[in-house]
Amino acid sequence: MRSAITIGLLTAVGACTPRAPASDAPAVGNRATPTAPAAPTTQPVVTRPAPDPDCALAWDELAEIAPPTIALTPPPADGALPEECPLEFAPGAACPDCVTGRMGGAPAALLVDGPAGSGRFYNLGLVVGGARPLYACAMASTVAWRHLVEVADRLAPLPWLDDLDGDGDAELITWHRLPWGGSEFENALVPVVYVRAGDQLVRRDDRGRALAARVADAYRALATRGTPGPEPACQRAITAALDAWGR
């Protein structure tokens, strides 16, 4: 789904003000800064708990929308970008609304477009590098936020590009739904983290443990308030999965 809303991060929850591009970050292409790819040796770490007999969390569906790796490729010569890209995304052009950082030793810029529709969908456009930039686009969803509004202060604003482990290298955070039923109310919120490894993004759930723990704490707080939320069996399954995230 394409949205015309740019970087309106969680307007019902608390806006995340875009950071201005750093002086050495091209947003989407400072031609004076060369790409410095990292060695592509990082292996994916993907959470896949044992099936819960009381709540059928759809791990297969999450695996489809958040794959182990995402390719970073040069921008197409004809400018035709995939459906997942934000409408205003243009690799190689200036991007004042991008969130910026460094990935794999090179400047990175992320354009976040959303949320849109009842599924609270986001289009994400990431550019890494300068003179010869690489890019990737992905979809995300915070549809599960409808359960968490009353405990929003524990989570908002959600990060999308951030140095989660303090090593000077940013990670891409894609927020996804983890379904256990067929309705929009039957989804949990989970953080899926990617690191850059050469010309690909590699899923590393272990890098998202602290974020997952925050979401688990929010679900626990929701349960203590007695407000509508996931059914008890799924509440337990969700918090257990988040507590064991990336292990």
- Per-residue pLDDT at 27 exceeds 50: no
Residue 169 has pLDDT above 50, yes or no: yes
DSSP 8-state assignment for residue 234:
H
Q: Is the pLDDT of residue 67 over 90?
A: yes
Helix (H) / strand (E) element for 210: namely: helix 209-225
Nearest to 234, CA basis, from 49, 52, 47: 52
Give the pLDDT confidence of 32-66 residue by residue, as tens digits. 344 444 444 689 999 998 889 999 999 999 999 99
**What pLDDT, on the 0 to 100 scale, is given for residue 225?**
75
Q: How far is it, in rounded angstroms, from Cα 97 to Cα 99?
A: 7
- pLDDT at position 229, please? 78
Give CA–CA dist 173/190, Å, rounded: 10
Rounded Cα gap, residues 148 and 185, in angstroms:
11
Q: What is the pLDDT of residue 12?
A: 34
Lowest mean pLDDT among 25-39, 147-161, 166-180, 206-220: 25-39
Q: What is the pLDDT of residue 8?
A: 34
Confidence tier at 227 by pLDDT (50, 70, 90): low
Tens-digit pLDDT profile for residues 193-219: 999 999 999 999 999 999 999 999 999
Which pLDDT score, from 0 to 100, does residue 223 have?
A: 81
Q: Is 57 helix (H, G, I), strand (E, B) or coil?
A: coil
pLDDT, mean of residues 113-138: 95
Res 214: pLDDT? 96
Alpha-carbon span 216 to 214, nearest angstrom:
5
